[in-house]
A and B are shown apart, each in its own frame.
Chain A
């Protein structure tokens, strides 16, 4: 299957700082990318959907000013957690999809473990 690379895989930052997570589709053009958050022993919760060249669509309850998403190219989307706090500590996962059709498969990155101290 197609490869989605997420970087970094693990990051520890101080409270109040910002952290940028990158998600790259390595062998296909991702028209749509998704950002998820996974708390321990819980499922993946969709945070936002981004289409290349347009503003991301955020799910209800997700602060768009706190979780900045940029999808400037067909192979790269970034999630920036601004002014991070300990409650933002979580596992963040991106996925990328090549087409717009409903039955197009999405591929997942390996995730980023964020710890805010």
Chain B
């Protein structure tokens, strides 16, 4: 069975600080990896995804993530956060079951 672990439950940063949110998955086969963002009161939106190829994936709004197969990790990064990045971030994995399994989410609060 596939599983996803997000170790940071709540991260608080000041504007312009750098961000890295951890995501580790458990699955032995080929996986697709995703990061979603949920702004307050809004639906889930896809930030970025990895299917194959370059393990460094660039997404929307300046976010990027790096797939490190040996570490089963897919950490999300942003060099300089903004107040508008305040949201909940979910890492998700899709294996052969073709369904998404989500991590528990990380609440990011950016202080102005």
Choose, from B70-78, B79-87, B93-101, the stretch at the interface.
B93-101
Interface size class of B (residues with CB under 8 A): 20 to 34
Give Cα A46 to B1, complex, Å: 14
Interface size class of A (residues with CB under 8 A): 20 to 34
Q: Which residues of B contact A49 (CB under 8 A)?
A: 99
The A interface is mostly helix, strand or loop, or mixed, namely: strand
Q: How far is the CB of A102 from chain B (nearest CB, A)?
A: 6
Q: By the criterion CB–CB under 8 Å, are A102 and B104 in contact?
A: no
Q: B61 interface residue, CB < 8 Å from A?
A: no
In the complex, per-residue mask of A67-106: 1 if CB is within 8 Å of any chain B CB, else 0 = 0000000000000000000000000010100001011011
7 further contact pairs, Cβ within 8 A, besides A100-B98, A107-B46: A1-B46, A32-B98, A42-B104, A43-B102, A44-B90, A102-B94, A103-B32
Name B's A-contacting residues (CB within 8 A): 30, 32, 36, 42-46, 49, 51, 90, 94, 96, 98-105
